[in-house]
Structure formats: C-alpha cells, structure tokens
Amino acid sequence: MKTVPSTRRTPVMPVVDRASRLPCAAPDNVELFFPVGTSGPALQQTAEAKTLCMSCPILQACREDALARPAHFAHGVVGGLSEDERHAIHRQERKQVQAR
C-alpha cells in the first residue's frame, strides 16, 4: 500500500490560542468592551477598553473589519473605537460620497 504525505498544514498557533491572547478576549476584560450607557462608569469602561485596544497586535485589522462590517460590529468598543465613533466615521464617509 502506498502512502501519500499529508498536505494539511498545522497552524503555528491554533486560532483559539491566538484569540485568547487578545486583550478583548481575556475573561476579566470582556465586559469592558460592552459598557452599558454613555455616561458615568460606562465612560471609564470605554476608556479602559480603548487603552487595551491600543496594545493589541491586531488593532488595525480589527478596526478595518469593524468599519467594513458595521452591522456585525454594532455594539461596544471594537478596534479602539466606540459605537459613537464608528457611527461618526460612517456618517462622515456618507457625507463625502454625497458631496461628490
């Protein structure tokens, strides 16, 4: 019987392991990324989440994904941006398109 070597590649690090190393995926941090409200403690949570985002190795890719798929990332802090900041960026983009 002839054996054929496998062409399957093993990832360098399983996806689950990579995701668990991201600041937003740490069990103690998840709630920071989804503050309730826009004042008081929610402002502090948002600021803390953004601080964690700034140290993330995939910040730019995360931000681009959040801006490209607004319906998928409608809530919380994603890519270092709050919901309001992402909405403002989308409004500005729509205005620029309309002005053309």
50 contacts: CB under 8 Å, gap ≥ 6:
77, 80, 81, 82
Token reading at 100: 């053309």
Q: What is the pTM of this model?
A: 0.75
Residue 35 reports pLDDT greater than 90: yes
Tell me the chain's radius of gyration from C-alpha atoms.
Answer: 19
Encode pLDDT of 42-92 as tens digits.
999 999 999 999 999 999 999 999 999 999 999 999 999 999 999 999 999
12 — pLDDT class (breaks 50, 70, 90):
very low
3-state secondary structure 52-71: HHHCCCCHHHHHHHHHHCCC
Which residue pairs, CB below 8 angstroms and at least 24 apart, start in 39-43?
Answer: none
Rounded to the nearest 10 degrees, how much is the dihedral formed by the CA atoms of 68, 17, 28, 32? -10
Residue 25 reports pLDDT greater than 60: yes
**Predicted local distance difference test score (pLDDT) of residue 100:** 79
Residue 14 reports pLDDT greater than 90: no
Token reading at 63: 């931000």
